[in-house]
Amino acid sequence: MPRNSAKLTVIGIECEALEGPTWGMGRQIRKLLEGLAARKDLYDTHRFILYSNGSLPADTLYAQELFIQRPCGLKTLLGSWAPSSFSVHYYVLLPLRILWDSLRYNLRAMYYPNYMLPLIHPPHVRSLVMLTEDIFRESRNPALPFRYRLAYQIFATFWANRRADRIMAISHASADALEHLGIPRARIAINEMGVPAATSSQQTIDNRQRTDFLFVGQAFPRRHLKEALIAFEGLARTRPEATFQIIGRDKYPEPTISPLVERMNATLGRQAVTLKEYVPDEELIEAYRQARTLVYVSETEGFGMPPLEALAYGTAPVVADTPVNREIYGPHAFFVPVPITQEGIVYAMECSVTDEFTHRTIHAAAPAILARYTWSAHTERFVSIMHELIRC
């Protein structure tokens, strides 16, 4: 930390999700850091402390002068022989490190994107916690391991819900849902996510022969990948060249997706479905470009990044007809009615194969949709929210 830190506005960001392959939250945090690093006006006035359990990967982004890396896990405290415990890091060592930095370096505010506020977070350091309605649902989901449900119930739906200075919602629909769950609207700050700049829709339309359907993200049961695969199997019987690519981890309580993919390929007699747990960004972008349709039929999301990211590369979304998806896409998507049924998924996926008019209207509407969701705007709102917190 620079010696003249008293003249700087110092803000902390919890970055444990950046330590490994960046899915979901990790991608969101990285995009936020990229946005902050691009703001040259911040370098003389701000520092952002990146708190993590272990060391962050070697990366020129994290080495920017604007950022200060602060690993504070057991390995940092005791040595490389110590176990790596998320619980000890997040609930004990992290808030103690925040307390120390607030006293020595005048750390003013802390952003927790991981939904949970530690019980011993220093109250004089202002706190911003991202919450979505998904967490309230998952905290009561019997399919989720008990330790995760307990952590969400204590540190998210109880403590963050009541004690965080601000709750960050990532869509207006999510803010409405959080208010319905009892969080006063005055405590909610809305900061929508961003997507890459739109690409040439004509180029992407011309590249539609390689993948018919794509799924990207962690395959939680609420996202209905299993049902989408069953729907695809029926389509593939009449369309012998149809393909489905999956990029993401199986998050069902029992292994579900890989066995289903193996059975389907054996039944169809070809590699109709491919499955990868993780790919680098370059390969993910290529997957978006080459897909005709992205299938992401989730019952509940605070925002839902993959369909909008896919749209930026010319790929039409098949999504659930939920308030957040209507907020983002209006009528410009293939919608599965709620409550979600197998028949509804089959019908929407069939339409995405046959309805060229809707594909054209989606592509035509994409630039206006994407213009509302940029990472630069997300970053600007984040800085404004933190400044407002500090002034309180």
| Tens of pLDDT, residues 350-362 | 999 999 999 999 9
| Tens of pLDDT, residues 218-276 | 999 999 999 999 999 999 988 888 999 999 999 998 999 999 999 999 999 999 999 99
Per-residue pLDDT band for 197 (boundaries 50, 70, 90) equals low
The pLDDT > 90 percentage for the chain reads: 83
Tokens 């989730």, residue located: 298
Tokens of 309: 């990211």
What is the rounded (10 degree) CA torsion for 178, 182, 186, 189?
A: -20
Of 153, 285, 292, 267, the closest CA to residue 214 belongs to 292
Query: What is the topology classification, in CATH, of domain 5-194+374-391?
Result: Rossmann fold (3.40.50)
Phi, psi of 206 (to 5 degrees): -70, -15
| Tens of pLDDT, residues 301-313 | 999 999 999 999 9
pLDDT for 76: 87
pLDDT for 25: 85
Per-residue pLDDT band for 145 (boundaries 50, 70, 90) equals confident
pLDDT for 205: 44
| Tens of pLDDT, residues 24-78 | 788 899 999 999 999 999 999 999 999 999 999 999 999 999 999 999 999 888 8
Tokens of 4: 């003249």
| Tens of pLDDT, residues 5-23 | 568 999 999 999 999 776 7
CATH 3.40.50.2000 maps onto the chain at 5-194+374-391, 201-371
pLDDT for 171: 95
**CA-based radius of gyration for the chain:** 22
Compute the mean pLDDT over every residue in the chain, rounded to the nearest whole number. Answer: 92
| Tens of pLDDT, residues 119-140 | 999 999 999 999 999 999 989 9
**Secondary structure class of 218 (helix, strand, coil):** coil
Per-residue pLDDT band for 204 (boundaries 50, 70, 90) equals very low
| Tens of pLDDT, residues 87-119 | 999 999 999 999 999 999 999 999 999 999 999
The kind and range of the H/E element at 28 are helix 25-38
Which residues lie below 8 Å from residue 380, measured CB to CB, with a gap of 6+? 35
Of 264, 254, 253, the closest CA to residue 228 belongs to 264
Q: Which CATH class is domain 201-371?
A: alpha beta
Of 150, 274, 266, the closest CA to residue 214 belongs to 274
What is the rounded (10 degree) CA torsion for 371, 348, 361, 293?
A: 60
